[in-house]
Structure 1
Amino acid sequence: MKKHLLYSALVLCLGVTLTGCDDFLNDNRYPLDKQTSSPEFWSNSVNVEGEANHFYNNVVGYGSGTNGTFYYHTLSDDQAGAISSTFANWAYTTTPSESDDWDDPYIEIRRANLLLEGVASGSLNNTTAGNNFMAIARLDRGMQYLTLVKKFGDVPLVEKPLDVNDQSVLFGPRTNRNEVIDFALADLNFAIENLTTESSKTTFSRDYARAMKIELCLFEGTYAKYVLKDSERSKKYLNEVVNVATVLMPKYSIGDDYAALYNSMSEELNANSEVIMMKAYKQDVMMHSLLDWTCSSSTVCGITRNAFDSFLFLDGQTADKTSYDNTDKGEPIENGLSIANILSVRDKRLSAIVWDRVIYPNMSIKFENTMPISSHTGYGVKKFYTDEIPYDYTPFANKNYTAAPIYWGARVALALVEAKAELGTLQNSDLTNTLDKLYSRAGLPTKTVDELAAMNAADNNMG
């Protein structure tokens, strides 16, 4: 479709005699570089589709030469970020005067509001096509507001394109976070009802909107329970998770290959029955840098020892209860220390996440298709690696083209189980197509609800 638009613009440019081609493109290219209120523009489905396509840029995946939504989330307890070989500052000591975390979502909210107002002003209003475009805009707007609330709490709720002369909106008060979340939920519900595509791994669809709704409702349901102490609000949102996840689960069955979710080519991931939405990449067309960040000579941010130790042993037990020998600290090998034996008795996902030898700081080890690698924690990141991509496209910036999963069956399964557990309604029958399949994929014995409740590690301080 974008190719079609490009060709159309070229033909029109060649046909313009009274106006220069640059003027034509500046006035008509998308996304619009200036606000338009022309009903004629918004009545043309090709124009509106061009504007709506911009929202695909907000499906970040592995990024496009920049940091994506994987790996670089270093401010977590599972991965050790480093600045000048020290841990990153985990607490802000001063509030910044400005932040992209604030500005960028509002730029996209404005873009959505412009499209919504524009479509409402033209002949596409209240048509199937028009409602589909509005659903795409509201889908994105809803998730932008969720992102803002997660980071800032109360935020200004902007429901229309801002007028620079409207000081009450530009400098108005923040809106209560509950109202903002309710507004975002209404946006997602509209998208679920009005998107014309039921399911698609590469385009906006109702199932993609349902997966977004699960993410929003699980966040709000647990936040309301533990922070707001609002049991009614918590139950409302957690029940929404259960209702939507129950619809999605049968469609996206959990597969057997954990690693394939993260290191597959676009064609392979598109064929993966577990994937709900993905971001496709193509060699020499659109690429990313994720493999470069984990396979090049720059020291990588490895997972922490706590994260490593949190993976169960193959008997389904934690380190303090396992029947396996937990004293094996590795086997010396040439140029390093092998941890293959340790990985062989752990949850199978762990061997897909880290390399099978300790990669000491300041000690570079080279694997197939990589540059010499070193890690801040000793654990090298293997999770996104594949030898399907040749060396010339692996440890180099913006040369990688594995596909990125956005939503997939395991996320839905875990959300369903968590919501039911928080509601106190989790039954063993709920585990059959959810946790049982995830345990099986990890090579672990399945658990009953009572066994799950009793397996807490004594030393994790989580209660």
Structure 2
Amino acid sequence: MKKSILYLLAASTLALTGCNDLLDKDPRDTFTNTPAFWSNANEVGSYSNGFYSFYGSASSFYFNALNDDQASPDFADWDFTTIPNKASAWNSRFTNIRRVNYMLDGLKTSTLPEAEKTKYEAIGRMNRAWVYFQLVKMYGDVQWEESVITDLNDENVYGPRNDRDEVMDKVLADIDFAIANLPALAKDKTTWSKEMALAIKSDLCLYEGTFCKYRTQADNGKAADKARADKFLTECTKASEALMNGKFSLNDWKPNASGKVYTVYNSLDLSNNSEIILYNNYEKDVKGHGLCDFTCSSTTQNGITKDAVDAFLFKDGKPLATTSLDKNDAAVINKDGKFSISKFLSNKDKRLSLLVDSIICFKDHGWIRNEPSPNGPLPAETTSSTGYTVYKYDNPQMEVYYRTNTTTNYTDIPLFWYSVVLLNEAEAKAELGTITQGDLDKTINLLQKRAELPNMTLNPDADPANNMNVSSLIWEIRRVRRCELMCDLGYRYWDLVRWHQLDKLDSNKYPNINKGANIVNLADKSKQNVDGNYLLGTTAKRTFAAKYYLYPVPSNEITLNKDKIKQNPGW
């Protein structure tokens, strides 16, 4: 094994981490690496359940403040501004690859029926593909490992990093094997399935295709490669279309009897949700999280930015610069003395009113979300760094105790879901130049209809805010993606990376990514951090440099492999 994971046990017994707060599975903590172990279906199944920890949890939402959608009161700078000696982002993923490879190697000694061995190989290779995809996004070139090497004298121990394109080709081969050999999704949407593999392929191929289209030699270490981009974008459409076969559909966002809309983000039960491909199951008094608590407690929230709010279209389907509707975003003092943006929200994309509250709240002007949980008191008074609070994940159906503690929230969490597939399909075809109006109607316009917006056409009007040097169509498709997935799973950060637009996180050049709500009607602004009439989520500044397209390789890795491992550009 190459140095990155030599610190793991190389003997026959390997200690595994638990599933933490992830999918409702119960992996073994240890295993004995013998042919007998890998020949026992229950043992292999239990071992593979540990791979669920590779995916997101409730903490994957809202808490990713390194973007232009949220402003943390504590300021979210680049993940690394100096080179670390060690980094969990590097080590933990190589640990997970080794865990997968133990199973893949063990299956070669197994006496299980061939069909069963092939299924578990597919599970292993799908998970290896996912982990390598994350590593390549962060570090670019990384060592490719497809078996466990326990001999410390093996010449491969101190090997060089493999070219990132070579690694992503192997990732594609792994995910294609998984798609060909995993069973179709049955009733349980917390289990491995062909559809999950297709969703992963849709994501990673869109990423790779657009990254290779827009990358530059100067900033990314490799020049753009149209042929490679087209190959992966085409593979993205194949995977996406395989999921667009009627098995999944969008939820309609209709209000319930109390007038509230519940989505994939704040549901107590996603097991039968038509939009879900894979979700993370939480249960009352059994397994909980704290996502709801952080969006309805006294802790100052990571507020939504003015830049993000301005991205949402108005109900006439037009952006801020060209709409004929009232675009006054000033918070108005209502009869309760609170600062309301209800009128403003009524003119905007429905997604915005599902994302944020209609009352803005900030220092010395807190607010209690006026939705008491059943049979209990109200939650705590809330404030936000920008005034805009995040409602998207809260569910007032839960009693206050369960809603306002960091380990008791029990809303289910989506990991792969249908709206992302539709977004991927539309963007890939637009980047390929093959998109038709029919394609838009089967993808983006389903999302626009749900958001109560007019249909998108192949030739949308130009938006003066388009600062990405792309066509109006691609700009608008990117807008829909941003608004649909705001605060979700770190999508926005990695979208900016793959579009070669990471400079949009430079708050010196783009000050609206630190601004929040318009408080012109507040009589005394002297106690607030403001820029004119707009709240400032933070006064700290984030400056972009091209080196941030890649994370720095931990210095310890280079020290041990100094003849073969070099640092990433700019670090």
Question: Normalising to structure 2: TM-score of the pair?
Answer: 0.71
Alpha-carbon distance in structure 2 between the residues aligned to 1:255 and 1:77: 27
2:65–2:71: 8 Å Cα contact kept in structure 1?
yes
* Aligned-pair CA distance for 1:292: 1.3
What residue number does 1:461 align with? 467
Once the two structures are superposed, the pairs formed by residues 208-287 of structure 1 within 5 Å of their partners are 208-227=196-215, 228-250=223-245, 251-257=247-253, 259-266=262-269, 269-287=270-288
Picking from 39, 44, 53, the partner of 1:57 is 53
How high is the sequence identity, in percent, across the aligned residues? 38
Q: 1:288 to 1:91 in 2, by over 3 A?
A: closer
Question: Normalising to structure 1: TM-score of the pair?
Answer: 0.87
Alpha-carbon distance in structure 1 between the residues aligned to 2:91 and 2:318: 46
What residue number does 2:138 align with? 151
Alpha-carbon distance in structure 1 between the residues aligned to 2:364 and 2:124: 48
1:313–1:324: 8 Å Cα contact kept in structure 2?
yes
What residue number does 2:30 align with? 33
Once the two structures are superposed, the pairs formed by residues 369-384 of structure 1 within 5 Å of their partners are 369-384=378-393
Q: Does 1:132 align with 2:132?
A: no
* Aligned-pair CA distance for 1:405: 0.9
What residue number does 1:340 align with? 342
Picking from 71, 75, 90, the partner of 2:62 is 71
Q: 1:306 to 1:161 in 2, by over 3 A?
A: same
AA partner of residue 368 (structure 2): K
* Aligned-pair CA distance for 1:264: 0.3
1:337–1:358: 8 Å Cα contact kept in structure 2?
yes
* Aligned-pair CA distance for 1:297: 1.1
What residue number does 1:117 align with? 105
1:358–1:379: 8 Å Cα contact kept in structure 2?
yes
Q: Does 1:407 align with 2:404?
A: no
Unaligned runs of 5+ in 2: 1-14, 17-25, 216-222, 254-260, 373-377, 470-571
Q: Which has the higher helix share?
A: 1
2:143–2:162: 8 Å Cα contact kept in structure 1?
yes
Kindly provide the CA deviation profile for residues 100-123 of structure 1, in whole angstroms up to 9, marking residues without a partner as x: 111111111111000011111111
What residue number does 1:11 align with? none
Alpha-carbon distance in structure 1 between the residues aligned to 2:227 and 2:55: 33
AA partner of residue 144 (structure 1): V
AA partner of residue 366 (structure 2): S
1:296–1:373: 8 Å Cα contact kept in structure 2?
yes
Kindly provide the CA deviation profile for residues 351-395 of structure 1, in whole angstroms up to 9, marking residues without a partner as x: 110010111135321123421111111100100011111101011
What residue number does 2:39 align with? 43
What residue number does 1:314 align with? 315
**Structure 1 residue matching 2:277: 3-state secondary structure:** strand
Q: 1:182 to 1:328 in 2, by over 3 A?
A: closer
Aligned residues: 422
CA RMSD of aligned residues (A): 1.9
Alpha-carbon distance in structure 2 between the residues aligned to 1:142 and 1:356: 42
Picking from 453, 464, 475, the partner of 1:444 is 453
AA partner of residue 266 (structure 2): N
* Aligned-pair CA distance for 1:165: 0.8
AA partner of residue 78 (structure 2): W
Segment of structure 1 superposing worse, 110-119 or 291-300? 291-300
AA partner of residue 89 (structure 1): D
Once the two structures are superposed, the pairs formed by residues 160-239 of structure 1 within 5 Å of their partners are 160-163=147-150, 165-166=152-153, 168-199=155-186, 200-227=188-215, 228-239=223-234
AA partner of residue 244 (structure 2): M
* Aligned-pair CA distance for 1:158: 1.1
Kindly provide the CA deviation profile for residues 61-101 of structure 1, in whole angstroms up to 9, marking residues without a partner as x: 31xxxxx2111111011111232xxx222373311111111
What residue number does 2:368 align with? 366
Alpha-carbon distance in structure 2 between the residues aligned to 1:372 and 1:166: 60
Q: Does 1:419 align with 2:406?
A: no
**Structure 2 residue matching 1:121: 3-state secondary structure:** coil
**Structure 2 residue matching 1:48: 3-state secondary structure:** helix
Kindly provide the CA deviation profile for residues 147-180 of structure 1, in whole angstroms up to 9, marking residues without a partner as x: 0000110011111113251454333211100111
Alpha-carbon distance in structure 1 between the residues aligned to 2:365 and 2:331: 17
Alpha-carbon distance in structure 2 between the residues aligned to 1:47 and 1:104: 23
**Structure 1 residue matching 2:288: 3-state secondary structure:** coil
Q: Does 1:88 align with 2:76?
A: yes
Alpha-carbon distance in structure 2 between the residues aligned to 1:413 and 1:75: 25
2:328–2:344: 8 Å Cα contact kept in structure 1?
no
1:59–1:279: 8 Å Cα contact kept in structure 2?
no
**Structure 1 residue matching 2:459: 3-state secondary structure:** helix
Segment of structure 1 superposing worse, 391-400 or 356-365? 356-365
AA partner of residue 252 (structure 1): F
Q: 1:166 to 1:33 in 2, by over 3 A?
A: farther
Alpha-carbon distance in structure 2 between the residues aligned to 1:238 and 1:448: 21
AA partner of residue 46 (structure 2): G
AA partner of residue 239 (structure 2): V
1:52–1:137: 8 Å Cα contact kept in structure 2?
yes
* Aligned-pair CA distance for 1:196: 2.5
Segment of structure 1 superposing worse, 105-114 or 353-362? 353-362
Picking from 349, 352, 358, the partner of 1:350 is 352
Segment of structure 1 superposing worse, 367-376 or 230-239? 367-376
Alpha-carbon distance in structure 1 between the residues aligned to 2:102 and 2:364: 52
Alpha-carbon distance in structure 1 between the residues aligned to 2:111 and 2:271: 36
**Structure 1 residue matching 2:316: 3-state secondary structure:** coil
What residue number does 1:3 align with? none
* Aligned-pair CA distance for 1:462: 2.4
Unaligned runs of 5+ in 1: 1-24, 63-67
What residue number does 1:106 align with? 94
Q: 1:415 to 1:30 in 2, by over 3 A?
A: closer
2:295–2:301: 8 Å Cα contact kept in structure 1?
yes
Segment of structure 1 superposing worse, 364-373 or 435-444? 364-373
1:335–1:365: 8 Å Cα contact kept in structure 2?
no
AA partner of residue 283 (structure 1): K
Alpha-carbon distance in structure 2 between the residues aligned to 1:377 and 1:319: 19
